[in-house]
Amino acid sequence: MLILIAESKAMNCAMLREIDPSEQSVRLPVFLHQAAEIMASLAGMSVADIALRLGIGPKSAKAMADYIYDFTNTATGIEAVEAFTGVVFKHFDVRSLDGDTLTAMRSRLRIISSLYGWLRPDDIIKPYRLDFTSKAAPGGKPMYGYWRKDVTAALVDEIKAAGVGEVVNLLPMDASKCIDWKSVKDSAKVIVPSFKIQQGEALATPNATLLKALRGSLLRHIICDRITDGDALRGIDAPDMVCLRDDPAPGHPLFVTA
């Protein structure tokens, strides 16, 4: 079972550290060349132009300008899974995992990125400020359109190479657009968890922040409890989350939290 999550806008630049060249060479993102081309295409732009091009505020644009300037400095970097600090990653809490669990995570978790496309947890990356709707790609395409072909191919290749039969999609909608799911379903079963909140006798839809928290918590259950197939996933009965039933749509197990 392979699990997909998305980047977060929040990144922990304090985790940036010196990278030995020998370490860098074996932990390069698959699509580093494309990421470098994207950043190079933005180099030399003013902060105001970056804000306009990417649809972000002045503060974020200033940060992105600094990231563009530093992108070619390969002496420093950060592991992808430690770089992102959004709600999903906080609830996954990678830094609390033991050695064996970290090993399992590295083989089963992949991160979809608006700049890098496809990331393994221990790939070395640089900070950036983009999102999947940013029109930073050549021709002014949104990033999800730019990455669709390459990310789909990377996912299908990994499914085949690892002999994976199931993919758990924990992606938000914009990140999910990076993948041609029809092509993926020819190679593996795609499981898309649904989440609800128990409110008396009724089930309510969680707000965006809680939805991210639930995705992070489910990811932690999958990795820490060594859940490797859909049947075990549907058998989760934890204090913070219960799988009550299958959604009417096949492949959508329904998880409920109080």
CA–CA dist 203, 205 (Å, integer): 7
User: What 3 state SS string does 126-195 have?
Assistant: CCCCCCCCCCCCHHHCCHHHHHHHHHHHHHHHHHHHHCCCEEEECCCHHHHCCCCHHHHCCCCEEECCEE
CA–CA dist 234, 243 (Å, integer): 6
Residue 257: both structure tokens together: 């939290």
Write the CB contacts of 125 (distance below 8 Å, at least 6 apart in sequence).
29, 77, 78, 79, 80, 83, 113, 115, 116, 119
For the chain, domain boundaries: 2-188
CA–CA dist 68, 42 (Å, integer): 7
Length of the chain: 258
Q: Look at the block and give the residue holding tokens 């002045």.
A: 58
Model pLDDT, residue 247 = 61
- Side-by-side strand order, sheet with 109-113: 117-119, 109-113, 2-6, 166-169, 189-191
Are 71 and 125 in contact by the 8 Å Cβ rule? The answer is no
| pLDDT digit string (tens) for the chain, length 258 residues | 999 999 999 999 888 899 888 887 788 999 999 999 999 999 989 999 999 999 999 999 999 999 999 999 989 999 999 999 999 999 999 999 999 999 999 999 999 999 999 999 999 999 999 999 999 988 888 999 999 999 999 999 999 999 999 999 999 999 999 999 999 999 999 999 999 999 888 989 999 999 999 999 999 999 999 999 999 998 888 888 989 866 666 678 999 987
CA–CA dist 151, 171 (Å, integer): 13
